[in-house]
Structure 1
Amino acid sequence: MSRLLTWLVAVQLLMGCASVSPGPSPAAQRVDPWEPWNRKVYAFNDTVDRSVLAPVAQGYRDHVPSPVRSGVGNVFNNFADLWSTANHLLQNKVQPGAEMGARVITNTVLGVLGVFDVATLMGLARQPEDFGQTLGVWGLASGPYLVLPLLGPSSVRDGVGVATELSLASPSQLASATAGQVAITGLQAVQARANLLDTTALLDDVALDRYSFTRDAYLQRRQSLVHDGSPPVDFEDFEDGPAADAPLRPQ
């Protein structure tokens, strides 16, 4: 999650898109036909974040020692790496899947159930993949942009991926009792939000319209991920010459 939002900011800064266009471009209308509703959900998420999640995350970062936060993050990453392994294999990416599987085994055994990231020190880098990417590789179109309550930017395809991961690959499933599941989910959310505190502060500084800023960067980043960094060019966006504010069509 922290890597995603860092990319959101970085992509837009490099493209010089921290300004509001006079109106939505045809490309934006094409990928975001539900914009009025999405903006309402975005505003709701922002209110919850500023009122509850961000302050709790700030307190977590201020008062929990860094080694402890690092260990918690490593455990969650190790669980996510197991799901990434499955998605690599579902996409027929055998070598990355094998490497990620080796990473999970290494960190689980030598890293004390993932508390320590031994695999990175051994040269086994993280290669995250999610089910939304898998659906894209299988040929399922992205569909319209969609802001999910509490979960943030998505698309119809990625929303299906998120729902699948929440039901099959959530760390909360490690607990048998409901209270334990809620506690794990809450800790995961706070950990992720604490990692994003500095990045979201930068987003506030550079974006005049945070909604369109986030949407365009999210769609471009997801397209790049599905195509392993080499997305196809949508020539419809270049009919009258390249437009700096025209997002790539999600695939």
Structure 2
Amino acid sequence: MKNLFMSFLLLIFSSIVMAENIDPFEGLNRTIFEFNQTLDENIFYPVAKVYKEFLPKTMQNRVSDFFSNLDDVSTLGNELLQFKLLDSVNTFGRILVNSTIGLAGLFDVASNIWIEKTDEDFGQTMAVWGVPSGPYIVLPILGPSSIRDSVGTYINVTENVNVNKWLNATEETTLLLTRAVDTRVKLSPIIDLLKNSDDFYIATRSSFLQKRQFDIFDGNPPIEYDDF
């Protein structure tokens, strides 16, 4: 209940700060973006490179499948909040199969038997509820976001802490870092492509905003026509 109350306060804030310009904080955003790039070049990228080159692919798949199963739990909750009942039944089936036959999510058995994976987060849930996106922002370490999605990130992180409360500090930190490295490896092709653009920052912003529209509308964003 405390988390829900906090989320609604932040929702009100997101509505208040809506701006005509999608990126009114570009100067600050670029500064944080450069900070994130420095961290990536000196920490995340080198670690991800070693992880990808030296850890057997089979083990990398087990790590990815494990975190994918954890994400399904969050997706299930958001599908229920969005009243996507058929999708929630499908996701519950994935969790059930992968948590049992898939050995606590280490194997994605569900996908092999055609139980399709879906992804929903609290930012998408708020969009379905009618909460406006608000300005584009760049978060330290976490990267591209919006006012609405930053609220969603806060809720998601809080829920992950609740899920991981049975872990000690060392185990929780290890889990967090492993997820970060796994995510960086998955994002490598996209990041490499964006870096080849004329303006890495603009390309990243555009890619993020388009991806969020795609996610929110389940792959069918509305077509916007120019006024003549």
- Give the TM-score, by structure 1 length: 0.79
1:76 to 67, 71, 79: 67
Tell me the amino acid that sits aligned with residue 86 of structure 2: Q
Q: Deviations over 1:124-152 (max 9, x none)?
A: 01101111000000010000001010001
What amino acid is aligned across from residue 101 of structure 2 in structure 1? L
Residue identity (%): 36
* Bigger mean CA deviation after superposition, 139-148 or 190-199: 190-199
Distance between the aligned counterparts of 2:103 and 2:162, measured in 1? Answer: 16
Evaluate the alpha carbon distance shift between residue 115 and residue 49 of structure 1 in structure 2; reply closer, same or farther with a 3 A threshold: same
Residue matched to 2:207: 217
TM-aligned CA distance change 1:118 to 1:170, over 3 Å: farther
Conserved? CA contact 1:54–1:193, under 8 Å: yes
Structure 1 position 117 matched with structure 2 position 108: yes
Give the C-alpha shift of residue 196 in structure 1: 2.2
Q: 1:143 aligns with which of 127, 134, 147?
A: 134
Flag the structure with more relative contact order, 1 or 2, with Cα contacts below 8 A and sequence separation at least 6: 1
**Residue aligning to 2:14:** none
1:249 — aligned with what?
none
1:229 corresponds to 2:204? no
Partner of 2:154, secondary structure, is helix
1:25-76 per-position Cα deviation (integer Å, ceiling 9, x unaligned)? xxx9710001100000100000100111000000011111111110011000
* 2:57 matched residue in structure 1: 66
Partner Cα separation in structure 1 for residue 170 and residue 76 of structure 2: 29
Contact 1:144 1:156 in 2 (8 A): yes
Contact 1:172 1:182 survives alignment (8 Å): no
Structure 2: which 5+ residue stretches go unaligned? 1-18
Residue of structure 2 in register with 1:244 after alignment: none
Cα–Cα, structure 1 residues 173 and 106, in superposed 2: closer, same or farther, change >3 Å?
A: same
Counterparts of 1:190-209 in structure 2 under 5 Å? Answer: 190-205=181-196, 207-209=197-199
Deviations 1:146-189 (A, max 9, x none): 10100010000000000100010359715532121111101110
Over the residues paired in the alignment, what is the CA RMSD in angstroms? Answer: 1.8
Q: Name the residue aligned to 1:167.
A: 158
Stretches of structure 1 that go unaligned for 5 or more consecutive residues are 1-27, 242-251
Distance 2:183 2:163 in 1: 15
The number of equivalent residue pairs is 210
After superposition, the C-alpha distances for 1:102-139 in whole angstroms (9 at most, x for unaligned) are 00100000000011110001100110111100000001
Amino acid at match of 1:113: A
1:152 matched to 2:143? The reply is yes
Give distance in 1, aligned partners of 2:65 and 2:162.
12
Task: Answer whether contact 1:79 1:171 (CA < 8 A) is retained.
Answer: no
Superposition TM-score, scaled by structure 2 size: 0.87
SS in 2 for 1:140: coil
